[in-house]
Amino acid sequence: MKLINQLSKETGLPIATIRFYEKSGLFKGQKKKGITTNNYTYYDDEVTEKLDLIRDAKSVGFTLSEIKELIDAWYNKRISKPKKMEILDAKLAQINDKIKELNAVKKQINYLKREVEKYDC
Amino acid sequence: MKLINQLSKETGLPIATIRFYEKSGLFKGQKKKGITTNNYTYYDDEVTEKLDLIRDAKSVGFTLSEIKELIDAWYNKRISKPKKMEILDAKLAQINDKIKELNAVKKQINYLKREVEKYDC
DNA sequence: ATAAAGTATGAAGCATACTTTATACTTTAA
DNA sequence: TTAAAGTATAAAGTATGCTTCATACTTTAT
């Protein structure tokens, strides 16, 4: 169980960002029972995993609400197994589409390179 | 030479979005010489190509300023050829990184699927 | 000729995703 | 023991990328 500072170091995300994500409902920390002197929030390894997923998914263009769906499909107990699989499969399809689009953009850029090579003097 | 309405139809982008992109310096239309009755802006096929590139690049997570770089590398005459090639190659590398990250996220989602399959009953 | 549709422009509004600030309390290290 | 560093919370501020609105003029179709 770690505090937010350690979580930040492990994930490479700023503390303020982590708090923002937590406030957005992407995960939850816990208050330690029995401690009355402070109000600190503790995080377990699952949160680290979730933050890694958030970071990676964000970097390829998923929005926070898309990522929330993904995380809910992973760990929300009120979602049925078939529904979860459906969501995960939809995300996989979305990723495959993105890869296709990236390859298309790649093609376009290679075309631009040839154009620059040809005409730009 | 087309008006904004036709450009919108060709690219599938809303007129307001096209105007916003033009205002952001991603491309320029032209005022027709000799016409004094109106103030309409005309666009040539190059603008259509640029908008297609913008649409595709955006859909895979490029920001407008990254896309601006890309377009400048393609058609800004004040940028030297080697510099252009450098920018285009950097973009290609960025795309390859994105593809790698997408494959990583794909892996993660497949892991989630196995987890759901195993433990979620 | 006139109503509907298209174009131009500036400004305001909005959603997403943070980031910064302010304030206050807690823990830790010298 | 006290100054520095860490934590919590709410609220305001910022950047990006649009979208909507208001107003006004132009073109097109009937």
- B52 and B103 part of one domain: no
* B35 has a chain A CB within 8 A of its CB: no
pLDDT in tens, B29-81: 999 888 778 999 999 999 999 999 999 999 888 999 999 999 999 888 899 99
B70·A113 Cβ contact <8 A: no
Asked if residue B70 is part of any domain, the answer here is no
Tell me the shortest Cα–Cα distance from B98 to chain A, in angstroms. Answer: 6
Partner A contacted by B103 (CB < 8 A)? yes
Question: What pLDDT, on a 0 to 100 scale, did the predictor assign at position B103?
Answer: 94
Q: Return the pLDDT at B121.
A: 64
| Alpha helices (runs of H) in chain B, residue ranges in sequence order | 4-11, 15-23, 45-59, 64-75, 81-119
Tokens of A109: 């850029």
Q: Is residue B12 part of a domain?
A: yes
A59 touches chain B (CB under 8 A): yes
A57 and A87 within one domain: no
Query: B91: domain range?
Result: 80-121
H/E stretch holding A46 reads: helix A45-59
The chain-wide mean pLDDT, for chain A, equals: 93
Examine residue B73 and state whether it is found in any structural domain, yes or no: no
State the pairing for strand pair A30-31/B41-42: unpaired
Same domain assignment for residues A57 and A92:
no
**What is the pLDDT, as a whole number, of residue A23?**
97
Which pLDDT tens digit goes with each residue over A54-110?
999 998 889 999 999 999 998 888 999 999 999 999 999 999 999 999 999 999 999
Q: Is the domain of A11 the same as that of A45?
A: yes
Tens of pLDDT, residues A46-67: 999 999 999 999 988 899 999 9
Give the pLDDT band (50/70/90) at residue A39: very high
Does the beta-carbon distance from A112 to B88 stay under 8 Å? yes
B49 and B96 belong to one structural domain: no
- Report the pLDDT value the prediction gives residue B5, as an integer from 0 to 100: 98
pLDDT at residue B87 in the model: 93
Give Cβ neighbours of residue B41 (< 8 Å, ≥ 6 apart). Answer: B3, B4, B22, B29, B30, B31
Contact B56 A116 (CB under 8 A): no
Does residue B68 fall inside a structural domain? no
Q: Is residue A14 part of a domain?
A: yes
Q: Is residue A67 part of a domain?
A: no
DSSP-assigned letter for residue B41: E
Could you tell me if B57 and B15 lie in one domain? yes
Query: Mean pLDDT throughout A37-53?
Result: 95
| Residue from A28, A45, A110 nearest B85 by CA | A110
- Residue A20 belongs to domain with CATH number: 1.10.1660.10
**What pLDDT is stored for residue A121 in this prediction?**
64
- Chain B residues whose CB is inside 8 A of the A104 CB are 56
Q: Do residues A8 and A14 lie in contact, with contact meaning Cβ atoms separated by under 8 Å?
A: yes
Is the minimum distance from the CB of A5 to strand C below 7 Å? no
- Residue B65: nearest nucleotide (C-alpha to C1'): D16
Q: Based on the domain organization, do A12 and A58 belong to the same domain?
A: yes
Residues B6 and B57 in one domain: yes
Domain boundary among the residues A17, A36, A62 is at A62
Kindly state the average pLDDT of the residues A30-50.
91
- Between CA B121 and CA B114 the distance in angstroms is 13
For the stretch B67-120, pLDDT in tens is 999 999 988 889 999 999 999 999 999 999 999 999 999 999 999 999 999 876
What Rg, from alpha-carbon coordinates, does chain A have? 20
Question: Is B116 a domain residue?
Answer: yes
Query: Considering its fold, how many domains does chain A have in total?
Result: 2
Residue A119 within any structural domain of the chain:
yes
Q: Does A35 touch chain B (CB under 8 A)?
A: no
Let me know whether A54 and A105 are in one domain: no
Q: Are the Cβ atoms of B98 and A102 closer than 8 angstroms?
A: yes
